[in-house]
Amino acid sequence: MLNYQLDKTFAALADPARRAIVERLVSGPASVSELARPLPMSLPAVMLHLKVLEDSGLVTSRKEGRVRTCRIEPKMLSQAENWVSERRRMWERNLDRLGAFLDETKPEDGE
CB 12 within 8 A of CB 58: yes
One of 1, 8, 48, 96 touching a second copy (CB under 8 A) = 8
Q: Residue 98 is which amino acid?
A: L
Q: Based on the shown chain and the rule CB under 8 A, indicate whether residue 105 belongs to the binding site for a second copy.
A: no
Q: Does 81 bind a second copy (CB under 8 A)?
A: yes
CB 84, min distance to a second copy, A: 4
72 bridge partner residues? 59
Q: Half-sphere exposure of 86 toward its Cβ, with a 13 Å CA cutoff?
A: 6
Instruction: Answer whether 22's CB lies under 8 Å from 58's CB.
Output: yes
- Nearer to a second copy by Cβ, of 12 and 36: the residue is 12
Helices (runs of H) and strands (runs of E) counted in the chain = 5, 3
Is residue 13 near a second copy by the rule CB under 8 A?
A: yes
The contact set with a second copy (CB under 8 A) reads 3, 6-11, 13-16, 19, 22-23, 26-28, 72, 74, 77-78, 80-81, 83-85, 87-88, 90-92, 94, 98
